[in-house]
Every structure is written in C-alpha cells, then in structure tokens.
Amino acid sequence: MAFVVFVALALWFSGPTVSARQEDPLSEANRTLRLTGSASTSRGGPSAGSLEGGVPYPLYARGSGFNARRSLTARYGTVELVQALMRAGERVNQLHGGELVVNDLSLAAGGPIAHHGSHQGGRDVDVLFYALDARGEPRPAVGAPLDLSARGVDFGDLAVPGDDVPVRLDVVRTWAFVEALLSDPQAAVQRMFVARHLRARLLRHARVHGAPQAVRRRFEQVACQPGYPHDDHFHIRVFCSVEDLRAGCLDSGPMPPWRRAELAAAGLTPRMAGPERLRAEITTATEARAAAGPMHADVRAWLDAREAWMNPPRGPGVCR
C-alpha cells in the first residue's frame, strides 16, 4: 500500500489556522452541506485514482476550515469525506471549542499530487491535531511533530532559536474528533494513519474517561503507524461509497467484517485496488532535512531524537 510521505519540516510552515474569510463566511459551508453524494465520484484506488465533481473543503465552517496556507488546489474531496469532517469539527467545537484545521485532500480532478503517495481519489485527507501551549491552554493547531510524551516545538524559522514555541497534543479535543468521526455512520473510515505512540495515548485517554467501547475498538482497528510515522497529523482515508463502487471506485485493505456486511446488504462484493504505481514524486524525511537549509542546534537535536520512532518494530499499532 502506498502511504503519504508528508514531511514534518514542510508542515512546520503550514500555519496555525484559517485566516481567509468571505463576506458571508458560512455560505460555502452551507452549500457544501446541502450536497448529495451523487455530486462527486471517486474512481480507482487511493494511489492511482481520479475524482469527478470534487468538493472544495470550505475555508471556514462551523468548527473547522481548510488551512489557507496550504495550496487551495489541494482542498478537494468527495462529498462524503468533506461532510464527515465538517460534522466532526462542528461536534468538537460544540463540546470544547476550537477549530479543526484541514490540510491537503486531493486535486479537483484527483490524480497525482505533489508530496503525497496517495490522495488521488478524493478519499484521503490530512488533518492537524488539536494543540495546547506550554501552560496547557488551547492554541491554534500547527504541524509540529510530537515526541513520545506528545510534546513538540513550533520552530518557526528553523535557523532562529528565539521564535521557538513549545506545543503539546490536546488529547481531549483530538479524541473528541476521533470519537465524532468514528461514531458517524456516514463516515466509513477505512484508515487513520498516526504515530503509534500518539495512538496509544489517545486510547489511554479514551479508556480512562469511559469512551464508548465500540468507538475504542473501531479506533484500535483503523488507526496504525505506516512506514512514515505521522507524528504531526492524522492521515485519514474513507471507503468508497456504494454509489462510487458501482462507478469504478476501488477500496484498499484491510477489509473488516462490518464493511463486508455493509456491501453485502447493498448487493455488492468488495472491489479492491491492486498494486498502484501512478504516484507523484515524494520526498523522504532525510531528503527534506538536507534541503531545509540552516537549522539551529535545538532543531538538529530534535530531529536526531525523532529517529527513535521513525521506524517502529512490528506489533500492535503498526500497519500491516
């Protein structure tokens, strides 16, 4: 399976939040929520697919928005994915406040997209974790890698030590997002790629605070660390809709029993993507580090320490 190689050094410059606003800031979001699934069609697999009628993620919605510092050409997804994220972001906002920051989805027509090994059919998305500052207060999300204690640094200018800002994972709001998404019967989440140590921390919080067992179990099944750890964002992938399967959409593995049952109820059998080689050129973490330019000593030390979880052993929480 092809995985995103979305480099942390680039994400440090992705910006904390959405700043662009329209005259009627909710107009785009309201139009998006009125769409039906037939407005978009995903064809092919995640790493060799296309998208018809791609829906742009709103720059501003209730509790979420597309990161305006990312390329606006990369904010397109299927109706099902975009609406599921909007519902989850709004739910977190109702419970705890804050804004879900959405990074890249797909191009308007899908196909290869720079710096990603997948994201080709409108069914993949990167979202930033909710974040806290050094005092434990909510702060805007930032694409900073988080260490084994779920702490990181918003380094800003990598060559200047004076602008470094400590951050840490907001476990409460990040789990609330996970729970809202996985509780949504229309979301059909297939994978949540995330670093194993952050997966473990979220599950620990869910158990301690009595999250529904069914949601915890689903998260255990869908969340895993691929070859690249995803310690700075979630990469989420949803299954093909029934309508899109009939139009040529192809799912990737694994195929859990609940998904097979859903397809059987619709009179369908799984349609799986084979080996997919139509990929955009991707950048490894090593290449990104070499190309990032001057870094002060704390940045270099942090990246050296990061090697501890870049390539985890096989076992629970690692994608197979």
Segment 285-313, tens digit of pLDDT:
788 888 888 999 999 999 999 988 888 77
Bridge partners, residue 193, by sequence: 224, 235
At residue 21, does pLDDT exceed 60?
Answer: no
Residue 72 lies in a domain: yes
CATH code, domain with 118: 3.30.1380.10
What is the total count of domains within the chain?
A: 1
Residue 73 lies in a domain: yes
Split at pLDDT 50, 70, 90, the class of 101 is very high
pLDDT computed for residue 15 by the predictor: 41
Residue 316 lies in a domain: no
Mean per-residue pLDDT, 99-118: 95
pLDDT computed for residue 8 by the predictor: 41
pLDDT computed for residue 311 by the predictor: 81
Split at pLDDT 50, 70, 90, the class of 275 is confident
Split at pLDDT 50, 70, 90, the class of 3 is very low
Residue 93 lies in a domain: yes
Mean per-residue pLDDT, 142-169: 95
Mean per-residue pLDDT, 199-212: 98
pLDDT computed for residue 7 by the predictor: 39
Residue closest to 47 by CA, chosen among 103, 5, 99, 95: 5
pLDDT computed for residue 279 by the predictor: 61
Residue 3 lies in a domain: no
Of the candidate ranges 3-7, 19-23, 28-32, 300-304, the one whose mean pLDDT is the lowest: 3-7
Question: What is the extent of the structural domain holding 78?
Answer: 8-308
pLDDT computed for residue 17 by the predictor: 44
AA letter at 180: A
The average confidence (pLDDT) of the chain is 90
Residue 212: phi, psi to the nearest 5?
-55, 135
27 versus 24: the higher-pLDDT residue is: 27
Query: Cα angle at 45 between 44 and 47, to 5 degrees?
Result: 120
Cβ pair 139, 133 in contact under 8 A: yes
Residue 256 lies in a domain: yes
pLDDT digits (tens, 9 = 90+) for 51-79: 999 999 999 999 999 998 899 999 999 99
At residue 45, does pLDDT exceed 60?
Answer: yes
pLDDT computed for residue 200 by the predictor: 97
pLDDT digits (tens, 9 = 90+) for 206-263: 999 999 999 999 999 999 999 888 999 999 999 999 999 999 999 998 999 999 999 9
pLDDT computed for residue 13 by the predictor: 36
Residue 156 lies in a domain: yes
Residue 313 lies in a domain: no
pLDDT computed for residue 134 by the predictor: 94
Of the candidate ranges 10-24, 186-200, 213-227, the one whose mean pLDDT is the lowest: 10-24
